[in-house]
Structures are given as C-alpha cells and as structure tokens.
Amino acid sequence: RPAARARTLRAAGVELDPLRRTATRDGRPLDLSVKEFALLEALLRAAPGFLSTEDLLEQVWDEHADPFTNTVTVTIGRLRRKLGGPPIITTTPGVGYRITGPPGAVTG
C-alpha cells in the first residue's frame, strides 16, 4: 500500500513529505540532494531508533556501495549543515545515527 508509506514524517522540528519530495525544518524549506533527502527519510522512519552505517548504505545507496567508504559520514555532515542548529542527528560510535529531539517530539 504505497499511500500508507507516503505520509509526512515529523521529528524534532523537521517535516518531510516523501510524496511531494519536500522537507522543512521549523517551517524553513530545505534544499536537499537526492541522497540527503533519502538519508533524512530513512532516519525519520527509524526514529527514535538507530541506523548503522551498513543500514544506511543498504537503504539509501545500492548494493554496489563500498562498505568501507566514508560516503555516509560525508553525507551526514552535509545534511547536518543544511539542517542547521540545534543539531538533531546524533552519532553513537559502534551503534549508528539517529534523530533526536525533546522527549516525545518524534511522531510519525
């Protein structure tokens, strides 16, 4: 059921509409690349859980992505800059990345 997957995702002041391919933070439009958008979408869908680098390579890139590359780290860095402050993507070494915000802020 594609319609069930296309709903707007919200967490920590970010709204992402997969159907319209739009993203905002605190009402401010975000100019994201295709990979940045897909990365943000994956993190929002997993929130408040973590996604490892391997999870993100599988979900956002393709089966030919090099698991030893720093492409996830670089794309996370670009996405963090575009999202602005306060930071909402946290990194836990050995675990992965996740969207964080005030308690109870993550909704689907």
pLDDT in tens, 38-73: 999 999 999 999 999 999 999 999 777 787 789 999
Residue 84 phi, psi dihedral angles, 5° rounding: 75, -170
Residue 69 has a pLDDT of 81
Residue 104 has a pLDDT of 42
Which domains does the chain possess?
Answer: 2-99 (1.10.10.10)
First to last CA, the chain: 17
Query: Any bridge partners for residue 16, and if so which?
Result: 9, 23
Q: From CA 2, how far away is CA 13, in angstroms rounded?
A: 25
> Greater confidence, 24 or 69?
24
Under the banding of pLDDT at 50, 70 and 90, the label for residue 4 is low
